[in-house]
Chains A and B, each alone.
Chain A
Amino acid sequence: MIAAVERPPSEIDDLDTVVRLHWPRVFRFALASLRDLDAAGSVAQDCFLRAYRSRERFRGECSIEAWLMRIAVNLIRDYARNRRLQFWKRAQASAVDLNAVGQWVPDGGASPESGAMAREQLAAVWNAAGGLSERQRTVFLLRFVEDMDLLEIAAVTGMKEGTVKVHLFRALQAVRERMGRPE
């Protein structure tokens, strides 16, 4: 009788493995969204804690990664809403140094001119992403940093596919605007 009620063992039960496999992605997404190391660490930690505590509700309808990302999206949204003022203050204080962005541009034997142009474009994307609305930023990061397709983004954010497209289109328009026309 008891055996019939018991939940079959799930992947999430092995928290050590789940953390080891999925922490980098959850942390990266939180960091890209919040641009705050401490906040990203807290959100990632809270994400795994919540996932573990509500593991009874995980029925394997989606991948564990999609489930974790969904929790992370909600936590980031709540974090940004609850601490809007502090968030923006901290984001300004610990914002990404766009001069340092150049360090991340792979050299690849490019000419100084094309290297400078690449750094400029990269800075433009960073700035544009920072100015997006919360939803636009979320779908933009999920699509262009996390490489998710539209259906995956819809599943993770709880939006319809059409809504995801609209937010993504607007985000891209903002990025293009910031990038300017090629000379």
Chain B
Amino acid sequence: MSQHLSSREISQWMIDERTPQQEQHVRQCPECGAELARMEAALTLFRGSVRRWSDGQRRAEPPASGSILPARRGFWAQPLGWALVPATLLVLAAVPVYRNVQDRQRQAEAARADALLLEKVDAEVSRAVPRPMEPLVKLVSWDFSSTDGRDEKTRNEEIR
């Protein structure tokens, strides 16, 4: 192999993709050797600079595991716990109001039912003839004027 390594071949070399011919060429070619050394030196510098940058940060120091795991806080230490207090009070205050409304509705219904019953009783009491005797009333009517269309004189003649 007499040609110098191409840019692609140098990149492939850096990821350990190389042929024995290329290895032999690099051993003999100062230019290719220098280019590979330049590349390796830049990457080594980069590695060192990242590490130094990171190591210089306060946050690079391992924290205590307690600060990583969320603390198991008590019920009252949680915002939800405090939010439940007014909600519970609201429910407790609303229960008697709701019950009161229900009681009133029930009383009103009972009063309406009583009124209906009384009306029925009134209707029964105010009948001229008891219900069982109603068929007889149809047979014998005392109110002639209302049973058929004939006048009193005609009926009297019929009786005689």
Tell me the A residues contacting B by CB distance below 8 Å: 15-16, 19-20, 23-24, 27-28, 31-32, 37, 40-41, 44-45, 48-49, 52, 96, 101, 104-106, 118, 121-122, 124-126, 129, 141, 143-145, 147, 150, 165, 168-169, 172-173, 175-176, 179, 182
Q: Measured between alpha carbons, how far is A150 from B4 in the docked complex, in Å?
A: 26
Q: Residues 42-54 of chain B: 1 if any A CB is under 8 Å from the residue's CB, otherwise 0?
A: 1101111111111
Name the residue of chain A whose CB is nearest to the CB of B10.
A176
Chain A contact residues: helix, strand, loop or mixed:
helix
Q: How far is the CB of A107 from chain B (nearest CB, A)?
A: 12
Contact of B69 among A52, A106, A175 (CB under 8 A): A52
Known: A19-B68, A145-B47, A150-B15. A24 touches B55 (CB 8 A): yes
A19 partner, pick from B16, B45, B55, B63, beta carbons under 8 A: B63
- Give the distance in Å from the alpha carbon of A12 to the alpha carbon of B45 in the complex: 33
Residue B60 CB within 8 A of the other chain? yes
**Cβ–Cβ contact A31 & B54, under 8 A:** yes
CA distance A45 to B68 in the complex (A): 6
- Tell me if B8 is interfacial: C-beta within 8 Å of chain A: yes
B56 to chain A: closest residue by CB: A104
A132 to chain B, nearest CB (A): 13
Q: Which residues of B contact A165 (CB under 8 A)?
A: 15, 17
Q: Chain B binding site: helix, strand, loop or mixed by DSSP?
A: helix
Interface residues of B in 1-54 (CB under 8 A from A): 7-8, 10-12, 14-17, 34-35, 38-39, 41-43, 45-54
CA distance A168 to B54 in the complex (A): 23
Contact A122 B69, CB 8 Å, known A16-B64, A169-B15, A176-B10: no
- Contact residues in B for A150 (Cβ distance below 8 Å): 15-16
Is the CB–CB distance between A15 and B65 below 8 Å?
yes
Chain B residues with CB under 8 A of A124: 42
Give Cα distance in the complex from A144 to B70, angstroms.
Answer: 34
Of B8, B45, B69, the residue contacting A173 (CB under 8 A) is B8
For the complex formed, measure the closest distance between the CB of A28 and the CB atoms of chain B, giving whole angstroms: 4
Chain A minimum-CB-distance residue to B39: A176
B61–chain A nearest beta-carbon distance, Å: 8
Partner of A28, one of B43, B50, B69, B70: B50
Q: Contacting B59 at CB < 8 Å: which of A41, A105, A147?
A: A41
Contacts A23-B63, A24-B55 supplied; 19 other A-B pairs, CB < 8 Å: A15-B65, A19-B63, A23-B62, A24-B62, A27-B59, A31-B54, A45-B63, A101-B49, A104-B48, A118-B42, A121-B42, A122-B49, A129-B46, A145-B47, A165-B15, A172-B14, A176-B39, A179-B42, A182-B38
Is B141 an interface position by the 8 A CB rule? no
Residues of A within 8 A of B78 (CB): none
- B88 is an interface residue with CB less than 8 A from chain A: no
